[in-house]
Structure 1
Amino acid sequence: MSSITTLALCISAIPLAWAQHDALTLPASTVSAQAREQGSAPSGLSLDQPVSTGSRLDLTVRETPASVSVADRSVIEARGAVNTQDVINGMTGINASANPGYGGFVSYRGFTQNQITQLYNGINLGYSSATRPVDAWQIDRVELLGGPSSFLHGAGAVGGSINYISKLASREEQVLEGRLRYGRFDESELSLGFNQALADIGNSQHFLRLDLSRGDSNGYIDRNQRETGSLALSLLSDLTPNLSHTLALEYLEDREDSPYWGTPVLNTGGSSMKIDKRRRFENYNVGDGRYEQRVRWLRSITDYQWSPASSLRNTLYYYDAQRDYRNLENYRYNADNSLVERSGAYLQRHDQNVLGNRLELQHHHQLFGLASQWAAGLDYSRMRQTLHPQAGDAFDSVDPGQFDPGRFDDVPGMDVGLQKQRRHEIDTRALFLENHLQLTERLALLSGLRYDHLQMEVTNYGAVTPTSPAFFERRWEPLSGRIGLLYELTPTANLYAQYSTSADLPAGSLASATYSNVGLFDLSKGEQWEVGSKFDFLDGRAAATLALYQIVRRDFAARDSNDPNLTVQAGQQTSRGIELAGRLQVTPALLVEANYAYVDAEYDEFNEAVDGVSVARKGNRPINVPDSVANLWLSYSLSPVWEIGTDVRHVDSVYADNANTLKAPSYTLYGAFTRYRVDKRTTVTARLRNLTDEIYAKQAYGEQYYMGAPRSVDVSLDLRF
């Protein structure tokens, strides 16, 4: 944590500058604070809060003709989320996990990996390895948009978009808050945050926010320790009544010693994946395995309200990250399950940075006598990434219960150190336009269109071959859009229908794609039809949303089930599904919330090469896509100071290979909590997770089973002044 401490001291010396202003919208942090002070039950289904991920027009969840879910700060705290993965796993239809190689793995609406765009404050980093979970303390809210959204966030996002929105300075005069948490496996968290109004300078007002968090854990797998740390500083300045600016800086650290990559499954002759429960916590990585990540963010946000009907926002941003891997990643049992064969040594470094600027204009006026809202803008970014991959093959065979993990340098060929192999540079230029037109008192039309110009250049520093030239470049110019109708049945109930398209990157991520991935590929195309409804009932004590959809994705590259580092060309995939979410305030003391998603996802066309032979996978389900995902929460206030609750999560079985011959079983997790409010500023919460100590796979690939956490308990102390 010394680097975070040093950074904090450096940042404190930055001159007071500018900050964000929105004259029309109360900041989300203020809303959350008021909800906590008033003691209202936090809910993950609030239809009248504005969302930025579903539209650039500041529409509410109810006004957006699409499936939109929101987890604001009060929900994050009420459900005890430790990191962003915990947050999104509570959202409708999401199944997420975070083994080191797939740090931001998400399955949603039948799609996975880079087919789901993960944004940070609306910024697309274009690489799933950059979306590893971060401490939930830094997050103000998370928003989820279902289905294609290239028209909003750029190429990709055929399955949906997730937007992680950081805490920023707000106009609250003074807030001081903190958390101390400790649990099983020595899992600890120390977090602090404050928001402070500064002395006025002339006619300008300034507000400062600082957040710090530190997490440690010995891990539920042997020899797997993790440390995380984060620092965020933002300065908000109202320079004039119409002009304001936000300067926001963030620094994140993440380090794992001997990372856990999965547990080998037994050779049983059946399709169901099973592990040796006696080896449940065994770690087959080398003793000095390592994963490290250091991330720096800088954002400069300027808001100008030049008239009551028109506003302008400019966001200048810079992202810089370094990720290091040094691990032995693949394990499998021999034929009689007496030995574990270890292979897949991998040494890698990612040096990634993104520099970009987004200019957005909003305008409200009359069009043909009808109320109309416009959003238009320009988006530019340049992403550079240098890769240093070094891979090894078989290493050794060990007794699964008693072995020397060895050193990484003991693996043949792994003592040569980092060697630069490829440099990727991707320029993105985009023009976007969106409109909301009130056709009648009850009927509204929402439309959007985006043009992207993608320029990719790859320099190869390794051996030059026909499939790995010294240099190559590609250019794509996708056009994507959405059109949706929303009809208001009553002031509290509506129906909607929408059609949207996507332009998907051919290999999922241009940040690491090789010539064989993208050299001859055009962009993948996707389209979605969706209908749904959003409504309140029982005098506002209940709310629900319903969405039915079909997504078709064509001409894409799928991950090779035998080698996760390679992709294979596929033809077409179709996903059809239904999503339901609801809340019911049964009594003033009892709140029930639930969501459920079912998806029928299958390949319509897909021929996979197996030992040089083309094998049809038509009708098969994609890897790690469950049919159903469901969540349920119940909370009950025993008295003004005591609250208890329980939660249930169910995830259906998933396939671990394209042939659909290996299946990880379904699982159900139960949890419970007790919360005591010592006074209006102090709360103590005890939380039990995985109550039945279920053994389950959060993710499955090849012949490995990435196991979720066992039963654990933690206690947290929350303070707010």
Structure 2
Amino acid sequence: MARSNSHRTQSVRLSIPVLLLSTVSALAQDARLPTISVAGQQPNEDAGLQLAQPAATGSRLGLTPLETPASVEVITEETIRARGYATVTEAVSQAAGISSTADPGNGHSAISTRGFIGHNSLLRLYDGTQMYVGAGTVTFPFDTWTADRIEILRGPASVLYGAGGIGGVVNVVPKKPSATFQNEAMFEFGSNLERHVAAGSGGPINSKVSYRADVSGRKSDGWVDRDETESLVFGLGLRAQASDTLAISLSHDYGYQNPSRYFGTPLINGQLDESIRKKNYNAEDSLIQYRDNWTQLKFEWEASDSVTFNNTLYRLTTNRHWRNIESYSYNAGTGLIDRADALEIAHDQVQYGNRFDATIESSVLGLKNQSAVGLDVNQVDFKYAHNFDNGAALTSVDPFSPQVGLFQSDDPFRPRHQTQTKQYSLFAEDRLSVTDKWTLVGGLRFDHIVLNRDQFDNAANSFEKTFADLTWRAGTVYNLTPDLAVYGQYATATDPVGGILNLSATNRGFTLATGKQTEVGVKQSLMNGRAEWTLAGYHIVKTDITSRVPGNPTLTQQIGEQSTRGVEFATGFDLARDWRLEGNATWLDARFDEFTEAGGASRAGNTPPKVPELLGNLWLTWAFAPEWKARSGVRYVGERYSDNANLNKLPDYTVVDLGLEWTPHKDVSIGFRLYNLFDKVYAETAYNDQQWVLGLPRTAVVSTHVKF
């Protein structure tokens, strides 16, 4: 994990026609993407865009995406299974406008959307609750097996979830106890010796109590040298219907990971040498380990036909440990790979809190009205240990036959500081039906945050900091027909500078960065949901980002600005009786409007790192015979830069996946998936300017899924 957990990126401007041509032509050339499912009668595993189904992430009022004046996307469990998404990051990086910037430093979970990257700007939620970000890293949830669906809200979300989320929100909604018995199991085996065994069960215990239990274990030898991985997740939930109007739910989720310790491949003389594609330059005894526990107690009370109260009490514990040699660069003089940043880092994080809200249906001047009011309270204790105050000795290895040795550091690993963050917020949301076709939606939130930092080795860097901010949004939806809506929205947001939990003494004088977005769009559902499409255009401006002062580059102030303009399109429809096509395409123009780096260099007009300005996905399913389906998926990611100066570029890439599924029985399916069909060598992201994190090579997976 790098000291700042920051990453550099790249992007390039192309055009939507070029994207569509390139993704189609990739089917005959080289590329990658996950798989999809569908057949003429809207196959069960293909859930479409879900425009008519309620999605809690975009509103607290139980609105559907069609009723919400914002970009909301739902990835269902059926879609996850059909396309073979193993991780949450893999699933969401196929959604419209999203690309992966995951690496070991950010918990393999960071993404980019609408011109912004990182967990502070793109919030991760579990069952509607924000996972507070410790030093740029979020590690839970990660496995898709326990997910009922993944909901994505694009654009500022501070008015719903507090500081952060200027680019969007990812909310993983877990499977819940059910009133009917549901049992399933999955077995998978892959060409990199991937092994996956999972099982789930749910149903009634008696007439009042139901349960849900899930477990998933994964192991792999990895596709680079010495990179064995393993993970385990477990979830258990109980729901008691205490009365006709009161339900009580208790759940606990556990996640353990020994993820990939591959920090990337160094460029040689500025070029990628494919012969070292699978070399791992990390230490022999390198270590990455995460443990997460999430406990939740929920009350749902229907006080009357028009008033509902919800209260959720929760506790999250997270322990993370890294011990790695992270940075690699080619030395032209010696012909060796110089290795630096021998870092050992640990996070000990505890978050507990309570969320209460009331939803009310009423009449205002004779007009139908829905409203929600509530209170969020959180406390997060965060302890940070590391070894990098004095740096570590530089070591060098042969690029082609590296003798990596053991981890060594010149500085002792020990606790350095701890923080305690206390937060409360008051929020309100309202939806007024002006007519049967026209609605107004607004929201308001006040956040108050107090951070206390204790610096163990330097008391002068201990401090207390208070943040208090008000965010709001106002939007409207007009239904041209019951299934065709146009919308517009204006929203404000706040974004922490460098993260709240790990706020440094250097940044303690800064306020939260602020943002605003204007968005307009169209959504339509046709043929009972078998054809859907959405189109959104937006403009986001983020101000108060830290920038060096022109004329005095040693001084940092909040005088910078970054903005993005973009268009997102998504669709899914039946081509013919046995064919279905789904896809999305995104174009954006992201830039620094005002930003100066150390040394006085202005980056105004440059594209922020790791932001592709063109993205696209296509999925095709063909039910070519009874009990048989063939699937293909194509993903295109445009060029990106890995530095603010836009001097180092990551090439664009296209990747193709294929799948075949046989269903000999309605409750049994046997599948074969081939990822990266043409074995494309591509950079998924960059760890630094001369170190690329390469994507998965060609990999085959066989799976069996059984319901009983």
The TM-score normalised by the length of structure 1 is 0.89
SS in 1 for 2:244: coil
Residue 64 of structure 1: how far off its partner (Å): 0.4
Instruction: Tell me how far apart the structure 1 counterparts of residues 591 and 425 of structure 2 sit (CA, whole Å).
Output: 32
Letter in 1 for 2:437: R
Does residue 542 (structure 1) correspond to residue 541 (structure 2)? The answer is no
Task: After TM superposition, give the deviation of residue 470 of structure 1 in Å.
Answer: 4.2
CA positional deviation for 1:43: 2.9
Identity of aligned residues (%): 35
Q: 1:512 — aligned with what?
A: 502
Map of 2:642 onto structure 1:
656
Tell me, yes or no, if the aligned pair for 2:121 and 2:165 is still in contact at 8 Å. yes
Aligned pair 1:318/2:315, yes or no? yes
Aligned residue number for residue 300 of structure 1: 297
Identify the residue that residue 422 of structure 2 maps to in structure 1. Answer: 427
Measured in 2, the distance between the counterparts of 1:582 and 1:480 equals 32
Deviations 1:330-351 (A, max 9, x none): 0000135711000001111100
What are the equivalent positions in structure 2 for 1:419-568 lying under 5 Å apart?
419-464=414-459, 469-507=460-498, 509-517=499-507, 519-537=508-526, 541-557=530-546
Deviations 1:511-568 (A, max 9, x none): 2221112x11111010000000001346754211000000000012489xxxxxxx99
**Following the alignment from structure 2 to structure 1, what is the Cα–Cα distance between the partners of residues 288 and 184?**
31
8 Å Cα contact 1:250/1:296 also seen in 2: yes
Alignment check: 8 A CA contact 2:231 2:255 kept = yes
| Shift in alpha-carbon separation, 1:670–1:133, aligned structure 2, 3 A | farther
Question: Match for 1:191: what amino acid?
Answer: A
Q: Which residue of 1 aligns with 2:225?
A: 222
AA partner of residue 128 (structure 2): G
**2:44–2:78 Cα contact (<8 Å) kept:** no
Give the whole-Å Cα distance in 2 for the aligned partners of 1:659 and 1:131. 30
The CA distance in 2 between the partners of 1:441 and 1:208, in whole Å, is: 40
CA 298–361 in structure 1, closer or farther in 2 if over 3 Å, else same: same
What is the aligned counterpart of 1:100 among 94, 101, 104? 104
Structure 2 distance, partners of 1:570, 1:135, is 40
In the aligned structure 2, how far is the partner of 1:236 from the partner of 1:672? 40
- Equivalent of residue 209 in structure 1, options 195, 208, 212: 212
Aligned to 1:24: none
Q: Given residue 353 of structure 2, which amino acid in structure 1 is its aligned partner?
A: G
Native 8 Å contact 1:267 1:336 kept in 2: no
Match of 1:260 among 240, 262, 265: 262
Question: Is the 2:251–2:296 contact (alpha carbons within 8 Å) kept by the matching residues of 1?
Answer: yes
Q: Unaligned regions of 5+ residues in structure 2, if any? A: 1-38, 549-555
User: Quick one: which amino acid aligns to residue 175 of structure 1?
Assistant: Q
SS in structure 2 of the partner of residue 477 of structure 1: strand
Whichever residue aligns with residue 331 of structure 2, its letter is N
Give the letter aligned to residue 597 of structure 1. Answer: T
Q: Is the 8 A contact 1:267 1:337 kept in 2?
A: no
Q: 3-state SS of the aligned residue for 2:339?
A: strand
Following superposition, the deviation at residue 644 of structure 1 comes to: 0.4
1:401-412 pair list within 5 angstroms: 401-408=400-407, 410-412=408-410
- 1:642 alignment partner AA: W
Counterpart of 1:118?
A: 124
For residue 191 of structure 2, the aligned residue among 179, 184, 187 is 184
Give the counterpart of 2:91 among 87, 92, 95: 87
2:596 is aligned, of 607, 611, 614, to 607
Question: CA offsets, 1:232-270, max 9 Å, x none?
Answer: 00001111000011100011000147x1111111224xx
Which one-letter code corresponds to 1:80 in the other structure?
G
Structure 1 residue 441: deviation in Å?
1.8
| Residues 111 and 625 in structure 1, CA contact (< 8 A), matched pair in contact too | yes
* Distance in 1 between residues matched to 2:528 and 2:66, nearest whole Å: 17
What is the CA distance between 1:45 and its match in structure 2? 1.0
Residue identity matched to 2:469: P
Matched, 1:385 2:365: no
> 2:604 is paired with a residue of what secondary structure?
coil
- Tell me by how many angstroms 1:198 deviates: 0.7
Retained in 1: the 8 A contact 2:205–2:211? yes
| Counterpart amino acid of residue 346 in structure 1 | L
Q: Tell me, in whole angstroms, the C-alpha distance in 2 between the residues paired with 1:426 and 1:376.
A: 24
State the SS of the aligned residue for 1:151: helix
Pair 539,504 (structure 1): closer, same or farther in 2 beyond 3 Å = closer
CA distance in 1, matches of 2:169, 2:566: 17
Q: Deviations over 1:212-245 (max 9, x none)?
A: 1100011111001110001100001111000011
Query: Cα gap change, 1:149/1:540 in structure 2, threshold over 3 Å: closer, same or farther?
Result: closer
Q: Matched residues in 2 for 1:568 and 1:265: separation?
A: 34
State the one-letter code of the partner of 1:535: Q
**Separation in structure 2 between the aligned mates of residue 139 and residue 540 of structure 1, nearest angstrom:** 22
C-alpha contact (below 8 Å) 2:387/2:409 kept by paired residues: no
Distance 1:459 1:398, change over 3 A: same
Indicate the residue corresponding to 2:281 in structure 1: 284
**Deviations 1:260-307 (CA, angstroms, capped at 9, x unpaired):** 111111224xxxxx3111111000100000000011110001000010
For 2:546 and 2:46, the matched residues in 1 are separated by 41
Give the TM-score of the pair, scaled to structure 2: 0.90
- Structure 2 CA distance for aligned equivalents of residues 143 and 533 of structure 1: 19
The gaps in structure 1 that reach 5 residues or longer are 1-34, 269-273, 560-566
Tell me what 2:394 maps to. Answer: 395
Report the 3-state secondary structure (helix = DSSP H, G, I; strand = E; otherwise coil) of the residue aligned with 1:343. Answer: strand
Specify the SS of the correspondent of 2:225: coil
**What secondary structure, in the 3-state scheme, does the structure 2 residue paired with 1:444 have?**
strand
SS at match of 2:192: helix
C-alpha offsets along residues 297-327 of structure 1, whole Å, 9 cap, x if unaligned?
1000100001011100000000001000000
Equivalent residues, number? 656
| Distance verdict in 2 for CA 1:52–1:476, change over 3 Å | same
2: CA distance between counterparts of 1:705 and 1:140?
33
Shift in CA distance, 340/133, structure 1 to aligned 2, threshold 3 Å? farther
- String of CA shifts for 1:159-210, please: whole Å, max 9, x gaps: 11111111121222x111010000011111100000131134xxxx101111
- Kindly provide the amino acid, as one letter, of the partner of residue 355 in structure 2: R
Aligned to 1:77, the other structure's residue is in SS state: helix
Find the aligned partners of 2:110 and 2:485 in 1 and give their Cα distance: 33
Amino acid at match of 2:395: D
- Show the counterpart of 1:366: 363
Separation in 2, partners of 1:139, 1:40: 17
- Checking the alignment, whether the CA contact within 8 Å between 2:451 and 2:501 is kept in structure 1 is no
Choose which of 49, 53, 60 in structure 2 pairs with 1:49. 53
Are 2:195 and 1:198 aligned? no
Residue 693 of structure 2 aligns with an amino acid whose one-letter code is Y
CA contact 2:252–2:296 (8 Å) conserved in 1: yes
Distance 1:390 1:540, change over 3 A: closer
**Residues 631-670 of structure 1: pairs in structure 2 closer than 5 A:** 631-670=617-656
Matched to 1:440, the amino acid is T
Distance 1:305 1:453 in 2: 30
Q: Alpha-carbon deviation of 1:134?
A: 1.3
CA offsets per residue over residues 656-676 of structure 1, 9 Å max, x none?
111100001000000110000
Q: Contact 1:43 / 1:583 at 8 angstroms: preserved in 2?
A: no
Letter in 1 for 2:155: G
* Counterpart residue type for residue 582 of structure 2: E
**Match of 2:171?**
163
Q: 1:160 to 1:540 in 2, by over 3 A?
A: closer
CA distance, structure 2, for counterparts of residue 332 and residue 218 of structure 1: 26
Q: Structure 1 residues 89-98 or 619-628, which shifts more?
A: 89-98
SS at match of 1:190: strand
In the alignment, the residues of structure 2 paired with residue 118 and residue 267 of structure 1 have an alpha-carbon distance, to the nearest angstrom, of 38
1:175 to 182, 193, 197: 182
8 Å CA contact 1:98–1:133 kept in 2: the answer is no
Could you say what secondary structure the match of 2:414 adopts?
coil
